[in-house]
Structure 1
Amino acid sequence: MAAERLPDLLETTYRSDLNLFVGRWGYQPPIEVLPHTYKKLTQSALATGCRFWLQDIRRRTLNDPAITRWLFTEYFLDMAAQLGGRLYVAYLTSPTLLEIIINGPGYEVPHASDYQPFAVAFFSNEGDAMEWVSQAQTRDSLA
């Protein structure tokens, strides 16, 4: 019997009509595959040059504190520098994962990163996430 092929972990798309880089995560990955997946994410994002991201992680079920720490202390800083401006990342999560993230150690409310070269916010509704990105684009264009 042939092994069942898992769906791709990450599908990326650049929506030029919205100036939006979208990453849709297909399932909860083992932690050891994340470095390779973030390398793919980086390559795709840099190819678009887009600083406005929607990361759909609704199919993920846990939040690894070490990965979160790395994202906030290294990855987002590096991506903002490479993309040449402030990076805006809206995470679309399931309500359950959103509760885990908000109640987890080290969670900061979105305005806490006002002086960082990146801004991150979490949503369980795609419309709210898109509105946040749209407002960020407007603020960024006025700056």
Structure 2
Amino acid sequence: MLSTPPEYLSIAYRPDLDVLVARWLRQVTLPEMQQGYELLLEEAAQHRCRQWLIDVRRRFNTDREGAHWMLTDFLPRLQPRLGGYTHLAYLLAPVILRDAAADAAFPTANAFAGKPFMGERFIDEREAIEWLQAKRQG
């Protein structure tokens, strides 16, 4: 690991799966979220890993400003840095999928169309990893 993650984020590379696993440990501010994703990119670049499992079950505060930053600033930097198509599997608490505001903050499938990255939401970690593995194979 290149930098020590802050206390609100756990980052681990799983070489057996070639998956970067990030677990947000509490709610975060926008600057904390941005710092955390920068650390994820740093770690992913070290391993040339383009399959990410992002556990946001303890971080209930995805908002439009954070989603906008992800789509316009952060995600476009993945391909130049990692050299290929990146898949992000978001692990959410079931209640979040029923929250209209949280759902509206998560980019729609159209937001990923034609882009070198894709995100999908899951409530089951096994399904999220299976999706990442299938995307890596295909």
Q: TM-score range by the shorter chain?
A: 0.7 to 0.9
After TM superposition, what 4+ stretches of structure 1 lie above 6 angstroms from structure 2? none
- Where do residues 49-128 of structure 1 align in structure 2 (5 Å cutoff)? 49-100=48-99, 101-102=102-103, 104=104, 107-109=107-109, 113-128=112-127
Match of 2:19 in 1: 20
CA drift at 1:43? 1.6
Equivalent pairs counted in the alignment come to 131
Q: 1:8 to 1:116 in 2, by over 3 A?
A: same
Whether 1:131 and 2:130 are equivalent positions in the alignment is yes
Work out the CA distance in 2 between the residues paired with 1:113 and 1:83: 17
| TM-score using structure 2 length | 0.84
Identity %: 31
CA drift at 1:64? 1.5
**Is 2:51–2:88's contact at 8 Å kept on the other side of the alignment?**
yes
**Aligned AA (1:69):** H
**Aligned AA (2:25):** G
| TM-score using structure 1 length | 0.82
Name the larger-Rg structure. Answer: 1
SS at match of 1:17: coil
Structure 1 portions without partners, runs of 5+ = 1-6
Structure 2 portions without partners, runs of 5+ = 1-5
Match of 1:10 in 2: 9
Q: 1:114 to 1:136 in 2, by over 3 A?
A: farther
**Is 1:19–1:50's contact at 8 Å kept on the other side of the alignment?**
yes
**Is 2:63–2:105's contact at 8 Å kept on the other side of the alignment?**
no
> Which of 85-94 and 113-122 deviates more?
113-122
| C-alpha RMSD of matched pairs (Å) | 1.9
**Aligned AA (2:9):** L
**Is 2:67–2:107's contact at 8 Å kept on the other side of the alignment?**
no
**Is 1:20–1:54's contact at 8 Å kept on the other side of the alignment?**
yes
- Where do residues 28-39 of structure 1 align in structure 2 (5 Å cutoff)? 28-39=27-38
Work out the CA distance in 2 between the residues paired with 1:53 and 1:38: 11
